[in-house]
Each structure stands twice: as C-alpha cells, then as structure tokens.
Amino acid sequence: MVVPKSVECFELTDDATDIPDWVKDCLDHQNDMTDVTPENSMPLLVDELVRAKIFSSKSEARNLIKNHGLSVFCFEAEGEPYRAIDGTVLNSFSDKKAVIDNPNIHWTLEDGDVIKTGKRKYFIIRIKEN
C-alpha cells in the first residue's frame, strides 16, 4: 500500500475563480474516467439472493451467511462437477467448501447454480430469457 506524503484538497464552488491546474485537468477528463470498483462490476451475493426471492430481506440472508447456513454450488457445464465460488471442485451437496462465510462477497448467480439454505432446503437457479 502506498501512503502519500501529502494530500492536496480543493473545494469546487460555483464562484471559484482561482482553480488549480490539477483540478482543471481532472474536470477536463472526468468523462474519460470509468469506475471499475467491484460494486459496479458484480453485485453483492446478498442482493442477488433477495432479487431471486430466496430471501425476503438482505438482513435475513446476511444472518444465515454469518451462521454458516448458506452454500453456493456453481454449475459449469453438463457433465462437469459443481464448483465452489473459489473454483474448488465439490464432491457432494454436503461439501463444506461451498459454505459462504462472508456476507459482503460479490457474485452473480448463473443458470444452473444451486443454493443450499440450512440443512435441507435447495434452490436451483433458472435464468429466464426475454
């Protein structure tokens, strides 16, 4: 991690007359910049689970994840074994490697993925094509 030696700050107001050059450069190129944070590239798994109506609220999903009660089995292709989110091959639907323990993980549910909640409740994801 790089720690800056100093930080310049400038407050942009409507009547700003003495704008530093570095601020002018930023303003000139602001449309060229794209935000590539993980939040914009992939949604939170909790959001996906609520959107798929597996949970009625994000807090319900987070609580189950914090209590190690949620597993995700990722479908690769027909005839291929299911995998955990990290890519590990899973042996069965009771494999502990599929347990999600971080409620802030980013993931997009794909067609064929299996979600296990609790000990015996399974959901298979089917993506509807428009």
In a domain, 39, yes or no: no
In a domain, 5, yes or no: no
* Residue pair 72/98 in contact by the 8 Å Cβ criterion: yes
The domain in which residue 100 lies consists of 47-124
- The DSSP call for residue 129 is P
pLDDT of 37 higher than 90: no
* Residue pair 48/108 in contact by the 8 Å Cβ criterion: yes
- The DSSP call for residue 117 is E
Reduced DSSP (H G I as helix, E B as strand, rest coil) percent helix, strand, coil of the chain, to 5? 25, 15, 60
In terms of pTM, does the model score above 0.85? no
pLDDT of 41 higher than 80: no
pLDDT of 86 higher than 60: yes
pLDDT, tens only, 50-76 = 988 889 999 999 999 999 999 999 988
pLDDT of 103 higher than 60: yes
Quickly state the pLDDT bin for 45 (edges 50, 70, 90): very high
In a domain, 12, yes or no: no
In a domain, 105, yes or no: yes
Quickly state the pLDDT bin for 1 (edges 50, 70, 90): very low
Strand order in the sheet with 114-117: 70-73, 114-117, 121-124
In a domain, 117, yes or no: yes
